[in-house]
Amino acid sequence: MKAAWLVVLAACSSSSSASHKREYKLSELHLAQFLGGLPLDGGTLTVDLSQDPDAITDWSKVTGTVTLDCGGCVLGDDHAVLHSNGPFGGDLHFGHISWDDATTRAVFGGGKIAITGHWRGDVDLDVKADVMLASRAVVGCLAFRPAERLLARDEKLHNIFMLTGAPKGDDGRMYIRVAGPLDRLRYMPQLCEAPAP
């Protein structure tokens, strides 16, 4: 789940007055260094902020949006291994996860970033988080459910998600609460509030 959350944080960044708009292909951003060594193929990141991102010195004054459109994205390539310091430790053969439809939107304003995301594919993922820019504190929730198609294709990878210890809600999704400073996030297997699927 750490890799999935990092994908979301990589997208973080609404106002109609935003005037600095840029679009990036995810393949150009070299995200593998933030994803445990896993490549991410496909998707675009659209930055539409009130200030030039290269010149911002106080992010708490920024307004605008950053949108990650990752429909058709694939995480992993069936060869790269996931470098993990998590409960399983060491390196894990990861295979790959693909998404047919995936969007994460981060809205800057009022000194915070409000993040929502919905990903549909091998693993359904719903994300809600707030990042307070002054304190760099994060409060958020991940709700996920590995799909039957992943079980049919890669049972071991499917089981990694099932063995996270995350509790299952009445809706069948598993939940992980995220909290803490941005550079020391804690991932807690607890029911929390995530956007509806």
What value, to the nearest 5°, has the Cα angle with vertex 168 and ends 38 and 105? 50
pLDDT tens per residue across span 175-185 = 999 999 988 99
Residue 35, pLDDT score: 83
Residue-range domain boundaries for the chain: 2-50+62-188
Query: Tell me, what's the pLDDT at 6?
Result: 43
Q: pLDDT digits over 48-86, tens only? A: 999 988 888 898 899 999 999 998 999 998 888 776 655
- Tell me what the pLDDT averaged over the chain comes to: 86
- The whole-number pLDDT of residue 90 equals 61
Confidence at residue 71, expressed as pLDDT on a 0 to 100 scale = 87
pLDDT value for 12: 47
Measuring CA to CA, how many Å separate 163 from each of 79, 107, 145, 158, 168?
Answer: 22, 33, 12, 9, 12
- What's the pLDDT score for residue 15? 38
Low-confidence ranges of the chain (pLDDT < 50): 2-18, 87-88
